[in-house]
Structure 1
Protein backbone atom coordinates (compact mmCIF):
# COMPACT_ATOMS: atom_id res chain seq x y z
CA UNK A 1 0.00 0.00 0.00
CA UNK A 2 1.28 3.45 -0.92
CA UNK A 3 1.82 5.74 2.04
CA UNK A 4 0.32 9.04 0.89
CA UNK A 5 1.88 10.77 3.88
CA UNK A 6 5.42 9.61 3.10
CA UNK A 7 6.54 13.02 1.70
CA UNK A 8 5.56 14.65 5.01
CA UNK A 9 7.51 12.07 6.99
CA UNK A 10 10.47 12.59 4.65
CA UNK A 11 10.37 16.35 5.30
CA UNK A 12 10.10 15.79 9.06
CA UNK A 13 13.07 13.39 8.99
CA UNK A 14 15.17 15.73 6.84
CA UNK A 15 14.55 18.75 9.06
CA UNK A 16 15.00 16.89 12.36
CA UNK A 17 17.93 14.63 11.61
CA UNK A 18 19.77 16.15 8.64
CA UNK A 19 19.16 19.90 8.79
CA UNK A 20 19.18 20.28 12.59
CA UNK A 21 21.34 17.23 13.28
CA UNK A 22 19.40 16.10 16.36
CA UNK A 23 20.15 12.58 17.60
CA UNK A 24 17.20 10.34 16.67
CA UNK A 25 17.01 8.60 20.05
CA UNK A 26 16.48 11.82 22.06
CA UNK A 27 13.15 13.08 23.33
CA UNK A 28 13.71 16.35 21.46
CA UNK A 29 14.08 14.51 18.14
CA UNK A 30 10.95 12.44 18.75
CA UNK A 31 8.94 15.53 19.68
CA UNK A 32 10.12 17.74 16.82
CA UNK A 33 9.76 15.00 14.20
CA UNK A 34 6.25 14.26 15.47
CA UNK A 35 5.24 17.94 15.40
CA UNK A 36 6.52 18.62 11.87
CA UNK A 37 4.94 15.47 10.46
CA UNK A 38 1.55 15.93 12.15
CA UNK A 39 1.26 19.64 11.32
CA UNK A 40 1.94 18.94 7.65
CA UNK A 41 -0.43 15.97 7.60
CA UNK A 42 -3.31 17.77 9.33
CA UNK A 43 -3.03 20.87 7.15
CA UNK A 44 -2.97 18.64 4.05
CA UNK A 45 -6.04 16.70 5.20
CA UNK A 46 -7.89 19.85 6.16
CA UNK A 47 -7.12 21.56 2.85
CA UNK A 48 -8.03 18.57 0.70
CA UNK A 49 -11.23 17.83 2.61
CA UNK A 50 -12.52 21.40 2.50
CA UNK A 51 -11.48 21.82 -1.15
CA UNK A 52 -13.34 18.67 -2.25
CA UNK A 53 -16.46 19.50 -0.29
CA UNK A 54 -16.50 23.08 -1.55
CA UNK A 55 -15.96 21.98 -5.15
CA UNK A 56 -18.81 19.44 -4.90
CA UNK A 57 -20.95 22.11 -3.26
CA UNK A 58 -20.55 24.27 -6.37
CA UNK A 59 -22.64 21.61 -8.14
CA UNK A 60 -24.90 20.81 -5.22
CA UNK A 61 -26.17 23.89 -3.42
CA UNK A 62 -26.11 24.02 0.39
CA UNK A 63 -29.88 23.63 0.42
CA UNK A 64 -29.71 20.43 -1.64
CA UNK A 65 -26.87 19.12 0.52
CA UNK A 66 -28.77 19.69 3.73
CA UNK A 67 -31.88 18.02 2.26
CA UNK A 68 -29.86 14.97 1.23
CA UNK A 69 -27.73 14.61 4.36
CA UNK A 70 -29.62 16.49 7.07
CA UNK A 71 -32.27 13.81 7.57
CA UNK A 72 -29.80 10.99 8.01
CA UNK A 73 -30.46 10.42 11.70
CA UNK A 74 -30.93 7.31 13.77
CA UNK A 75 -28.70 4.55 15.13
CA UNK A 76 -28.16 2.97 11.71
CA UNK A 77 -26.32 6.10 10.52
CA UNK A 78 -24.22 6.20 13.69
CA UNK A 79 -23.25 2.59 12.98
CA UNK A 80 -22.38 3.50 9.39
CA UNK A 81 -20.26 6.46 10.50
CA UNK A 82 -18.41 4.29 13.04
CA UNK A 83 -17.74 1.64 10.40
CA UNK A 84 -16.38 4.33 8.07
CA UNK A 85 -14.16 5.40 10.95
CA UNK A 86 -12.69 1.90 11.22
CA UNK A 87 -11.27 2.10 7.68
CA UNK A 88 -9.76 5.57 8.04
CA UNK A 89 -6.28 5.31 9.63
CA UNK A 90 -6.26 8.70 11.35
CA UNK A 91 -5.16 9.78 14.81
CA UNK A 92 -7.49 11.94 16.91
CA UNK A 93 -6.15 15.26 15.58
CA UNK A 94 -6.10 14.07 11.98
CA UNK A 95 -9.77 13.09 12.27
CA UNK A 96 -10.74 16.69 13.08
CA UNK A 97 -10.50 17.96 9.46
CA UNK A 98 -12.83 15.16 8.34
CA UNK A 99 -15.14 15.98 11.26
CA UNK A 100 -15.29 19.65 10.20
CA UNK A 101 -15.92 18.68 6.60
CA UNK A 102 -18.77 16.36 7.54
CA UNK A 103 -20.50 19.04 9.62
CA UNK A 104 -20.03 21.62 6.89
CA UNK A 105 -21.56 19.21 4.38
CA UNK A 106 -24.68 18.87 6.52
CA UNK A 107 -24.07 15.49 8.17
CA UNK A 108 -25.89 15.47 11.55
CA UNK A 109 -23.72 16.29 14.54
CA UNK A 110 -24.27 13.00 16.38
CA UNK A 111 -23.46 10.94 13.29
CA UNK A 112 -20.29 12.97 12.75
CA UNK A 113 -19.21 12.38 16.36
CA UNK A 114 -19.55 8.62 15.82
CA UNK A 115 -16.91 8.94 13.12
CA UNK A 116 -14.70 11.20 15.26
CA UNK A 117 -14.73 8.72 18.15
CA UNK A 118 -14.15 5.53 16.17
CA UNK A 119 -11.68 6.71 13.54
CA UNK A 120 -8.63 7.05 15.81
CA UNK A 121 -9.56 3.98 17.85
CA UNK A 122 -9.85 1.30 15.18
CA UNK A 123 -8.22 0.67 11.81
CA UNK A 124 -7.15 -2.38 9.85
CA UNK A 125 -3.44 -1.93 10.57
CA UNK A 126 -4.06 -1.65 14.31
CA UNK A 127 -6.24 -4.77 14.18
CA UNK A 128 -3.43 -6.76 12.55
CA UNK A 129 -0.83 -5.61 15.08
CA UNK A 130 -3.12 -6.12 18.07
CA UNK A 131 -3.95 -9.61 16.86
CA UNK A 132 -0.27 -10.44 16.55
CA UNK A 133 0.60 -9.09 20.01
CA UNK A 134 -2.47 -9.74 22.18
CA UNK A 135 -4.35 -12.49 20.35
CA UNK A 136 -7.71 -12.78 18.63
CA UNK A 137 -9.99 -12.54 21.67
CA UNK A 138 -8.53 -9.27 23.00
CA UNK A 139 -8.44 -7.80 19.47
CA UNK A 140 -12.07 -8.72 18.76
CA UNK A 141 -13.21 -7.21 22.05
CA UNK A 142 -11.21 -4.07 21.37
CA UNK A 143 -12.67 -3.60 17.87
CA UNK A 144 -16.27 -4.27 18.91
CA UNK A 145 -15.90 -1.99 21.93
CA UNK A 146 -14.41 0.80 19.82
CA UNK A 147 -17.33 0.67 17.38
CA UNK A 148 -19.92 0.50 20.18
CA UNK A 149 -18.35 3.49 21.96
CA UNK A 150 -18.52 5.47 18.72
CA UNK A 151 -22.12 4.50 18.02
CA UNK A 152 -23.41 5.11 21.54
CA UNK A 153 -21.41 8.31 22.10
CA UNK A 154 -22.49 9.83 18.80
CA UNK A 155 -26.11 8.78 19.28
CA UNK A 156 -26.27 10.37 22.74
CA UNK A 157 -24.81 13.63 21.42
CA UNK A 158 -27.31 13.54 18.55
CA UNK A 159 -30.26 13.07 20.92
CA UNK A 160 -29.23 16.12 22.94
CA UNK A 161 -29.47 18.42 19.87
CA UNK A 162 -26.31 20.39 20.59
CA UNK A 163 -25.84 22.05 17.20
CA UNK A 164 -25.94 25.46 18.88
CA UNK A 165 -22.57 24.65 20.46
CA UNK A 166 -20.86 24.41 17.06
CA UNK A 167 -19.12 27.55 15.74
CA UNK A 168 -21.30 29.52 13.33
CA UNK A 169 -18.67 29.62 10.59
CA UNK A 170 -18.94 25.83 10.14
CA UNK A 171 -22.66 25.98 9.47
CA UNK A 172 -22.71 29.31 7.65
CA UNK A 173 -21.68 27.93 4.28
CA UNK A 174 -20.49 30.72 2.02
CA UNK A 175 -22.81 31.61 -0.82
CA UNK A 176 -21.68 30.75 -4.30
CA UNK A 177 -20.11 33.80 -6.02
CA UNK A 178 -22.04 33.02 -9.20
CA UNK A 179 -25.31 31.36 -10.11
CA UNK A 180 -24.80 27.63 -10.05
CA UNK A 181 -25.69 27.14 -13.72
CA UNK A 182 -23.29 29.89 -14.82
CA UNK A 183 -20.18 28.67 -13.04
CA UNK A 184 -17.33 27.37 -15.16
CA UNK A 185 -14.59 25.01 -14.06
CA UNK A 186 -12.21 27.83 -13.17
CA UNK A 187 -14.82 29.61 -11.09
CA UNK A 188 -15.59 26.42 -9.18
CA UNK A 189 -11.90 25.87 -8.50
CA UNK A 190 -11.49 29.47 -7.31
CA UNK A 191 -14.48 29.07 -5.02
CA UNK A 192 -13.06 25.87 -3.50
CA UNK A 193 -9.65 27.52 -2.95
CA UNK A 194 -11.28 30.47 -1.18
CA UNK A 195 -13.16 28.08 1.10
CA UNK A 196 -9.89 26.38 2.03
CA UNK A 197 -8.30 29.74 2.83
CA UNK A 198 -11.28 30.74 4.96
CA UNK A 199 -11.51 27.57 7.08
CA UNK A 200 -7.77 26.95 7.44
CA UNK A 201 -7.29 30.62 8.28
CA UNK A 202 -9.62 30.20 11.26
CA UNK A 203 -8.10 27.03 12.74
CA UNK A 204 -4.38 27.01 11.80
CA UNK A 205 -3.12 28.42 15.09
CA UNK A 206 -5.13 25.91 17.12
CA UNK A 207 -3.73 23.07 15.01
CA UNK A 208 -0.13 24.18 15.66
CA UNK A 209 -0.68 24.68 19.39
CA UNK A 210 -2.44 21.33 19.78
CA UNK A 211 0.09 19.33 17.80
CA UNK A 212 3.01 21.03 19.57
CA UNK A 213 1.62 19.98 22.95
CA UNK A 214 1.04 16.50 21.60
CA UNK A 215 4.62 16.35 20.33
CA UNK A 216 5.99 17.34 23.72
CA UNK A 217 3.97 14.61 25.40
CA UNK A 218 5.04 12.15 22.70
CA UNK A 219 8.74 12.79 23.25
CA UNK A 220 9.00 13.39 26.97
CA UNK A 221 6.08 11.75 28.81
CA UNK A 222 7.50 9.18 31.28
CA UNK A 223 6.12 5.68 30.67
CA UNK A 224 6.74 4.62 34.26
CA UNK A 225 4.01 6.86 35.63
CA UNK A 226 1.30 4.52 34.34
CA UNK A 227 2.80 1.44 35.97
CA UNK A 228 3.19 3.41 39.19
CA UNK A 229 -0.38 4.72 39.52
CA UNK A 230 -2.39 2.14 37.59
CA UNK A 231 -0.88 -1.08 38.90
CA UNK A 232 -2.84 -4.32 39.22
CA UNK A 233 -3.37 -3.88 42.98
CA UNK A 234 -5.14 -0.54 42.55
CA UNK A 235 -8.94 -0.86 42.36
CA UNK A 236 -9.03 2.51 40.62
CA UNK A 237 -6.38 1.46 38.13
CA UNK A 238 -8.65 1.78 35.09
CA UNK A 239 -9.82 5.36 35.84
CA UNK A 240 -6.21 6.24 36.70
CA UNK A 241 -5.02 4.88 33.35
CA UNK A 242 -7.68 6.90 31.52
CA UNK A 243 -6.82 10.10 33.42
CA UNK A 244 -3.14 9.61 32.59
CA UNK A 245 -3.93 8.85 28.97
CA UNK A 246 -6.27 11.74 28.10
CA UNK A 247 -3.62 14.51 28.11
CA UNK A 248 -1.27 12.43 25.96
CA UNK A 249 -1.30 12.20 22.19
CA UNK A 250 -0.31 9.41 19.83
CA UNK A 251 -1.88 7.21 17.20
CA UNK A 252 -2.99 3.66 17.93
CA UNK A 253 -0.09 2.11 15.99
CA UNK A 254 2.49 4.04 17.98
CA UNK A 255 0.95 2.99 21.28
CA UNK A 256 0.54 -0.73 20.71
CA UNK A 257 4.21 -1.49 21.55
CA UNK A 258 3.85 0.60 24.72
CA UNK A 259 0.72 -1.32 25.71
CA UNK A 260 2.48 -4.63 25.05
CA UNK A 261 5.32 -3.48 27.29
CA UNK A 262 2.92 -2.45 30.06
CA UNK A 263 1.18 -5.83 29.94
CA UNK A 264 4.59 -7.48 30.12
CA UNK A 265 5.28 -5.49 33.29
CA UNK A 266 2.17 -6.92 34.94
CA UNK A 267 -0.52 -4.37 34.08
CA UNK A 268 -3.90 -6.07 33.40
CA UNK A 269 -4.94 -6.18 29.74
CA UNK A 270 -8.11 -4.18 30.41
CA UNK A 271 -6.24 -1.40 32.17
CA UNK A 272 -3.64 -1.28 29.39
CA UNK A 273 -6.27 -1.18 26.64
CA UNK A 274 -8.22 1.51 28.51
CA UNK A 275 -5.04 3.59 28.46
CA UNK A 276 -4.67 2.90 24.73
CA UNK A 277 -8.25 3.98 24.04
CA UNK A 278 -8.03 7.13 26.15
CA UNK A 279 -4.86 8.33 24.41
CA UNK A 280 -6.16 7.64 20.90
CA UNK A 281 -9.84 8.62 21.23
CA UNK A 282 -9.53 11.82 23.27
CA UNK A 283 -6.40 13.89 23.68
CA UNK A 284 -5.59 17.39 24.91
CA UNK A 285 -4.20 18.44 21.51
CA UNK A 286 -7.41 17.27 19.83
CA UNK A 287 -9.46 19.32 22.29
CA UNK A 288 -7.38 22.42 21.54
CA UNK A 289 -8.01 22.05 17.81
CA UNK A 290 -11.72 21.39 18.36
CA UNK A 291 -11.93 24.47 20.59
CA UNK A 292 -12.07 26.65 17.47
CA UNK A 293 -15.04 24.65 16.19
CA UNK A 294 -16.94 23.53 19.31
CA UNK A 295 -17.89 25.20 22.57
CA UNK A 296 -16.35 24.20 25.89
CA UNK A 297 -19.64 22.58 26.93
CA UNK A 298 -19.77 20.27 23.92
CA UNK A 299 -16.09 19.36 24.20
CA UNK A 300 -16.54 18.54 27.91
CA UNK A 301 -19.56 16.37 27.12
CA UNK A 302 -17.67 14.58 24.34
CA UNK A 303 -14.69 13.85 26.60
CA UNK A 304 -16.91 12.75 29.48
CA UNK A 305 -18.96 10.32 27.38
CA UNK A 306 -15.87 8.74 25.84
CA UNK A 307 -13.95 8.60 29.14
CA UNK A 308 -16.83 6.90 31.00
CA UNK A 309 -17.29 4.43 28.13
CA UNK A 310 -13.57 3.63 28.07
CA UNK A 311 -13.45 3.12 31.86
CA UNK A 312 -16.42 0.74 31.66
CA UNK A 313 -14.73 -1.08 28.77
CA UNK A 314 -11.48 -1.39 30.71
CA UNK A 315 -13.22 -3.02 33.67
CA UNK A 316 -15.07 -5.34 31.29
CA UNK A 317 -11.79 -6.37 29.64
CA UNK A 318 -10.25 -7.09 33.04
CA UNK A 319 -13.23 -9.27 33.95
CA UNK A 320 -13.25 -11.42 30.81
CA UNK A 321 -9.59 -11.55 29.73
Structure 2
Protein backbone atom coordinates (compact mmCIF):
# COMPACT_ATOMS: atom_id res chain seq x y z
CA UNK A 1 0.00 0.00 0.00
CA UNK A 2 2.82 2.38 0.92
CA UNK A 3 4.53 1.59 -2.38
CA UNK A 4 1.43 2.52 -4.38
CA UNK A 5 0.97 5.67 -2.32
CA UNK A 6 4.56 6.64 -3.05
CA UNK A 7 4.08 6.03 -6.76
CA UNK A 8 0.88 8.12 -6.74
CA UNK A 9 2.63 11.00 -5.00
CA UNK A 10 5.52 10.81 -7.46
CA UNK A 11 3.09 10.95 -10.40
CA UNK A 12 1.32 13.96 -8.87
CA UNK A 13 4.64 15.75 -8.36
CA UNK A 14 5.67 15.04 -11.97
CA UNK A 15 2.32 16.30 -13.33
CA UNK A 16 2.57 19.49 -11.25
CA UNK A 17 6.14 20.07 -12.42
CA UNK A 18 5.17 19.57 -16.06
CA UNK A 19 2.29 22.03 -15.61
CA UNK A 20 4.47 24.73 -14.08
CA UNK A 21 7.23 24.22 -16.66
CA UNK A 22 4.62 24.57 -19.41
CA UNK A 23 3.17 27.70 -17.83
CA UNK A 24 6.63 29.21 -17.46
CA UNK A 25 7.39 28.43 -21.11
CA UNK A 26 4.10 29.97 -22.23
CA UNK A 27 4.77 33.09 -20.17
CA UNK A 28 8.25 33.32 -21.64
CA UNK A 29 6.89 32.99 -25.18
CA UNK A 30 4.23 35.63 -24.48
CA UNK A 31 6.85 38.00 -23.10
CA UNK A 32 9.05 37.39 -26.13
CA UNK A 33 6.11 38.14 -28.41
CA UNK A 34 5.42 41.38 -26.51
CA UNK A 35 9.06 42.40 -27.03
CA UNK A 36 8.94 41.91 -30.79
CA UNK A 37 9.78 45.31 -32.30
CA UNK A 38 7.10 47.21 -34.21
CA UNK A 39 8.60 49.27 -37.02
CA UNK A 40 6.58 52.29 -38.23
CA UNK A 41 7.15 53.46 -41.82
CA UNK A 42 5.77 56.74 -43.20
CA UNK A 43 4.61 57.43 -46.74
CA UNK A 44 5.17 59.95 -49.56
CA UNK A 45 6.61 63.18 -48.16
CA UNK A 46 6.26 61.78 -44.65
CA UNK A 47 8.10 63.25 -41.69
CA UNK A 48 8.60 62.54 -37.99
CA UNK A 49 5.11 63.75 -37.12
CA UNK A 50 3.50 61.45 -39.70
CA UNK A 51 3.46 58.40 -37.41
CA UNK A 52 4.32 60.18 -34.17
CA UNK A 53 0.82 60.49 -32.75
CA UNK A 54 0.01 56.86 -33.56
CA UNK A 55 3.06 55.79 -31.57
CA UNK A 56 1.97 58.08 -28.71
CA UNK A 57 -1.47 56.46 -28.62
CA UNK A 58 0.10 52.99 -28.58
CA UNK A 59 2.17 54.10 -25.57
CA UNK A 60 -0.89 55.48 -23.80
CA UNK A 61 -2.65 52.15 -24.29
CA UNK A 62 0.49 50.34 -23.05
CA UNK A 63 0.64 48.46 -26.35
CA UNK A 64 4.29 49.34 -26.78
CA UNK A 65 7.05 51.69 -25.76
CA UNK A 66 8.94 54.17 -27.89
CA UNK A 67 12.52 53.00 -28.16
CA UNK A 68 13.98 55.24 -30.80
CA UNK A 69 14.11 56.52 -34.33
CA UNK A 70 16.02 55.17 -37.30
CA UNK A 71 16.90 57.92 -39.77
CA UNK A 72 17.95 57.22 -43.34
CA UNK A 73 19.96 59.95 -45.02
CA UNK A 74 19.79 60.73 -48.73
CA UNK A 75 22.60 58.23 -49.40
CA UNK A 76 20.88 55.36 -47.59
CA UNK A 77 23.01 55.49 -44.44
CA UNK A 78 21.08 54.45 -41.34
CA UNK A 79 21.52 55.82 -37.84
CA UNK A 80 19.32 54.76 -34.93
CA UNK A 81 18.96 57.03 -31.93
CA UNK A 82 19.14 55.79 -28.35
CA UNK A 83 20.66 52.49 -27.21
CA UNK A 84 17.96 49.87 -27.11
CA UNK A 85 17.24 47.33 -24.39
CA UNK A 86 14.55 44.71 -24.01
CA UNK A 87 13.58 45.61 -20.44
CA UNK A 88 10.13 46.84 -19.48
CA UNK A 89 6.72 45.95 -20.85
CA UNK A 90 5.29 46.11 -24.33
CA UNK A 91 6.82 45.94 -27.76
CA UNK A 92 9.67 48.32 -28.55
CA UNK A 93 8.48 50.76 -31.21
CA UNK A 94 10.88 52.15 -33.80
CA UNK A 95 10.02 55.00 -36.14
CA UNK A 96 11.67 55.13 -39.57
CA UNK A 97 12.25 58.51 -41.20
CA UNK A 98 13.58 58.96 -44.73
CA UNK A 99 15.51 62.19 -45.32
CA UNK A 100 14.65 61.81 -49.00
CA UNK A 101 10.95 61.21 -48.56
CA UNK A 102 10.23 61.31 -52.30
CA UNK A 103 12.71 58.62 -53.35
CA UNK A 104 11.76 55.73 -55.62
CA UNK A 105 10.08 52.56 -54.39
CA UNK A 106 13.25 50.67 -55.31
CA UNK A 107 15.48 52.94 -53.21
CA UNK A 108 13.14 52.90 -50.24
CA UNK A 109 12.93 49.09 -50.38
CA UNK A 110 16.72 48.87 -50.30
CA UNK A 111 16.85 51.36 -47.43
CA UNK A 112 14.32 49.31 -45.47
CA UNK A 113 16.68 46.36 -45.78
CA UNK A 114 19.41 48.41 -44.11
CA UNK A 115 16.99 49.70 -41.46
CA UNK A 116 15.77 46.21 -40.56
CA UNK A 117 19.32 44.84 -40.45
CA UNK A 118 20.14 47.64 -38.01
CA UNK A 119 17.06 46.84 -35.92
CA UNK A 120 18.01 43.16 -35.78
CA UNK A 121 21.61 43.94 -34.85
CA UNK A 122 20.52 46.40 -32.16
CA UNK A 123 17.72 44.36 -30.64
CA UNK A 124 19.05 40.87 -31.24
CA UNK A 125 15.56 39.90 -32.38
CA UNK A 126 15.11 37.74 -35.48
CA UNK A 127 11.46 38.74 -35.89
CA UNK A 128 9.71 42.10 -36.27
CA UNK A 129 6.27 43.49 -37.10
CA UNK A 130 5.62 46.50 -39.33
CA UNK A 131 2.96 49.21 -39.63
CA UNK A 132 3.28 51.19 -42.87
CA UNK A 133 1.30 54.12 -44.23
CA UNK A 134 0.74 54.82 -47.92
CA UNK A 135 4.00 54.55 -49.92
CA UNK A 136 5.64 52.97 -46.88
CA UNK A 137 3.67 49.83 -47.71
CA UNK A 138 5.14 49.76 -51.21
CA UNK A 139 8.65 50.21 -49.81
CA UNK A 140 8.03 47.25 -47.51
CA UNK A 141 6.66 45.11 -50.35
CA UNK A 142 9.83 45.86 -52.31
CA UNK A 143 11.82 44.70 -49.29
CA UNK A 144 9.80 41.50 -48.87
CA UNK A 145 10.00 40.64 -52.56
CA UNK A 146 13.71 41.32 -52.97
CA UNK A 147 15.64 41.27 -49.70
CA UNK A 148 14.01 39.35 -46.87
CA UNK A 149 16.05 36.29 -46.04
CA UNK A 150 19.36 37.92 -46.85
CA UNK A 151 22.07 37.65 -44.23
CA UNK A 152 21.41 39.92 -41.28
CA UNK A 153 17.76 40.64 -42.06
CA UNK A 154 14.97 39.76 -39.62
CA UNK A 155 11.77 37.93 -40.50
CA UNK A 156 8.78 40.24 -40.86
CA UNK A 157 6.09 38.18 -39.16
CA UNK A 158 3.15 40.53 -39.64
CA UNK A 159 2.57 43.75 -41.51
CA UNK A 160 -0.27 46.27 -41.54
CA UNK A 161 -0.59 48.62 -44.50
CA UNK A 162 -2.78 51.72 -44.22
CA UNK A 163 -3.95 53.25 -47.48
CA UNK A 164 -1.02 51.80 -49.43
CA UNK A 165 -1.66 52.30 -53.17
CA UNK A 166 -0.65 48.85 -54.40
CA UNK A 167 -2.37 49.55 -57.72
CA UNK A 168 -1.17 53.15 -57.86
CA UNK A 169 -2.93 56.51 -57.56
CA UNK A 170 -3.97 59.44 -59.68
CA UNK A 171 -1.58 62.19 -58.60
CA UNK A 172 -4.28 64.82 -59.13
CA UNK A 173 -6.26 63.24 -56.27
CA UNK A 174 -3.30 63.49 -53.93
CA UNK A 175 -2.63 67.12 -54.88
CA UNK A 176 -6.29 67.97 -54.39
CA UNK A 177 -6.19 66.61 -50.85
CA UNK A 178 -2.61 67.65 -50.12
CA UNK A 179 -1.67 70.72 -52.25
CA UNK A 180 1.98 70.68 -51.13
CA UNK A 181 2.40 67.41 -53.03
CA UNK A 182 2.41 69.49 -56.22
CA UNK A 183 5.93 70.62 -55.31
CA UNK A 184 7.15 67.04 -55.79
CA UNK A 185 4.86 65.82 -58.56
CA UNK A 186 7.86 65.08 -60.79
CA UNK A 187 9.87 63.28 -58.11
CA UNK A 188 10.84 59.61 -58.43
CA UNK A 189 8.23 58.68 -55.84
CA UNK A 190 5.45 60.57 -57.62
CA UNK A 191 6.31 58.86 -60.90
CA UNK A 192 6.39 55.41 -59.26
CA UNK A 193 3.08 55.96 -57.50
CA UNK A 194 1.15 56.66 -60.70
CA UNK A 195 -1.25 53.96 -61.82
CA UNK A 196 0.45 51.91 -64.54
CA UNK A 197 3.95 53.19 -63.73
CA UNK A 198 6.96 51.07 -64.80
CA UNK A 199 7.76 50.47 -61.12
CA UNK A 200 4.32 49.02 -60.41
CA UNK A 201 4.24 47.01 -63.62
CA UNK A 202 7.61 45.50 -62.67
CA UNK A 203 6.28 44.66 -59.20
CA UNK A 204 3.59 42.41 -60.69
CA UNK A 205 5.58 41.11 -63.65
CA UNK A 206 6.26 37.75 -61.99
CA UNK A 207 3.34 36.78 -59.73
CA UNK A 208 5.21 33.69 -58.49
CA UNK A 209 7.40 35.99 -56.37
CA UNK A 210 4.45 36.50 -54.03
CA UNK A 211 4.42 32.79 -53.24
CA UNK A 212 7.65 33.07 -51.27
CA UNK A 213 6.27 35.77 -48.96
CA UNK A 214 5.15 34.23 -45.68
CA UNK A 215 4.43 37.49 -43.86
CA UNK A 216 0.85 37.72 -42.62
CA UNK A 217 -0.69 40.97 -43.82
CA UNK A 218 -3.63 43.22 -43.10
CA UNK A 219 -4.53 45.83 -45.73
CA UNK A 220 -6.54 48.74 -44.33
CA UNK A 221 -8.39 51.04 -46.70
CA UNK A 222 -9.97 54.39 -45.96
CA UNK A 223 -13.32 55.25 -47.49
CA UNK A 224 -14.97 58.67 -47.34
CA UNK A 225 -17.66 57.87 -49.88
CA UNK A 226 -21.14 57.25 -48.50
CA UNK A 227 -21.17 53.69 -49.77
CA UNK A 228 -19.72 50.48 -48.38
CA UNK A 229 -16.82 48.83 -50.25
CA UNK A 230 -17.69 45.83 -52.38
CA UNK A 231 -15.99 42.45 -52.57
CA UNK A 232 -12.26 42.59 -53.46
CA UNK A 233 -11.80 42.79 -57.22
CA UNK A 234 -15.07 44.61 -57.84
CA UNK A 235 -14.60 47.52 -60.29
CA UNK A 236 -16.95 49.54 -58.09
CA UNK A 237 -14.15 49.81 -55.51
CA UNK A 238 -12.23 52.00 -57.97
CA UNK A 239 -14.74 54.75 -57.19
CA UNK A 240 -14.52 54.37 -53.42
CA UNK A 241 -11.58 55.42 -51.29
CA UNK A 242 -9.92 57.77 -48.85
CA UNK A 243 -9.75 60.74 -51.22
CA UNK A 244 -6.28 59.77 -52.47
CA UNK A 245 -6.12 55.98 -52.64
CA UNK A 246 -9.04 53.93 -53.91
CA UNK A 247 -10.28 50.91 -51.97
CA UNK A 248 -9.39 48.83 -55.04
CA UNK A 249 -5.77 50.02 -54.86
CA UNK A 250 -5.45 49.58 -51.08
CA UNK A 251 -6.78 46.02 -51.36
CA UNK A 252 -5.11 45.14 -54.67
CA UNK A 253 -2.64 42.62 -53.21
CA UNK A 254 -5.57 40.29 -52.50
CA UNK A 255 -5.25 39.30 -56.17
CA UNK A 256 -1.76 37.93 -55.49
CA UNK A 257 -1.95 37.04 -51.78
CA UNK A 258 -5.24 35.16 -51.20
CA UNK A 259 -4.91 35.07 -47.40
CA UNK A 260 -4.47 38.86 -47.18
CA UNK A 261 -6.82 40.22 -44.52
CA UNK A 262 -8.87 43.30 -45.37
CA UNK A 263 -10.50 46.08 -43.36
CA UNK A 264 -11.81 49.55 -44.11
CA UNK A 265 -12.60 52.62 -42.04
CA UNK A 266 -14.53 55.79 -42.80
CA UNK A 267 -11.52 58.12 -42.66
CA UNK A 268 -9.49 60.00 -45.25
CA UNK A 269 -5.96 59.16 -46.33
CA UNK A 270 -4.15 61.40 -43.87
CA UNK A 271 -6.27 60.37 -40.90
CA UNK A 272 -5.60 56.65 -41.23
CA UNK A 273 -2.67 57.04 -38.83
CA UNK A 274 -4.70 59.38 -36.61
CA UNK A 275 -7.64 57.04 -36.00
CA UNK A 276 -7.99 55.13 -32.69
CA UNK A 277 -10.17 52.59 -34.52
CA UNK A 278 -7.36 51.90 -37.00
CA UNK A 279 -4.92 51.69 -34.06
CA UNK A 280 -7.01 48.99 -32.43
CA UNK A 281 -7.35 46.98 -35.65
CA UNK A 282 -3.60 47.13 -36.26
CA UNK A 283 -2.72 46.15 -32.69
CA UNK A 284 -5.20 43.28 -32.64
CA UNK A 285 -3.83 41.94 -35.92
CA UNK A 286 -0.20 42.16 -34.82
CA UNK A 287 -0.74 40.53 -31.44
CA UNK A 288 -3.98 38.52 -31.67
CA UNK A 289 -5.10 40.58 -28.66
CA UNK A 290 -8.26 42.65 -28.34
- Please report the TM-score for the alignment, with normalisation by the length of structure 1: 0.25
More helix by proportion, 1 or 2? Answer: 1
More strand by proportion, 1 or 2? Answer: 2
- Name the structure, 1 or 2, with higher relative contact order (CA <8 Å, separation 6+): 1
- The structure that has the greater radius of gyration is 2
